[in-house]
Amino acid sequence: MGLFSFGNKERKVSSLKWIRLTEGSDLDQLIEKESFVKPVVLFKHSTRCSISAMALNRLENEWNIEEEACVPVYLDLIAYRDISNKMANDLQITHQSPQIMVVKDGKCVYTSSHSQINVRDIKEAL
């Protein structure tokens, strides 16, 4: 056992069930159809960035939003940069990474990035 006992800590299992976004046509479906049924929460994650990893970890650990309240969507923007660019263009927002967006009725009603990403503000936007 080490000084900090990192290996012995139980990791909280996230209740967040991401939908992985890999096709531009799926983004269209989410914005143009799904967001009119229930809010869509889009998370853009850079797999090369420690700040993005920290934001993702915090988001998953703090997630306490009911499954029926929204559609949580994850985008690996390194692998799918074209979809990330399309997202910024279609939603008329400035690209950032990491970034969270809430889309309702085809429009981005909330966006935040970096250390400002938190579940409380997402819940308020829903």
* Confidence check: pLDDT of 5 > 80: no
pLDDT at res. 16: 82
- 22 belongs to a structural domain: yes
- 43 belongs to a structural domain: yes
DSSP string across 40-100: EEEEEE-TT-HHHHHHHHHHHHH----GGG-EEEEEETTTTHHHHHHHHHHHT----SSEE
Taking the C-alpha atoms of residue 7 and residue 49, their distance in angstroms, rounded to an integer, is: 23
Higher-pLDDT residue of 15 and 31 is 31
Q: What is the mean pLDDT of residues 51-62?
A: 94
Q: State which residues form the domain around 55.
A: 16-125
Give pLDDT tens digits for 73-83. Answer: 999 999 999 99
The rounded mean pLDDT for the chain is 89
The CATH number that applies at residue 48 is 3.40.30.10
What total number of domains does the chain contain? 1
* Confidence check: pLDDT of 6 > 90: no
Taking the C-alpha atoms of residue 87 and residue 84, their distance in angstroms, rounded to an integer, is: 5
- 5 belongs to a structural domain: no
- 9 belongs to a structural domain: no
Q: What is the mean pLDDT of residues 29-45?
A: 97
Q: Predicted confidence band at 2 (pLDDT cuts at 50, 70, 90)?
A: very low
- 7 belongs to a structural domain: no
- 36 belongs to a structural domain: yes
pLDDT at res. 22: 96
pTM above 0.85, yes or no: yes
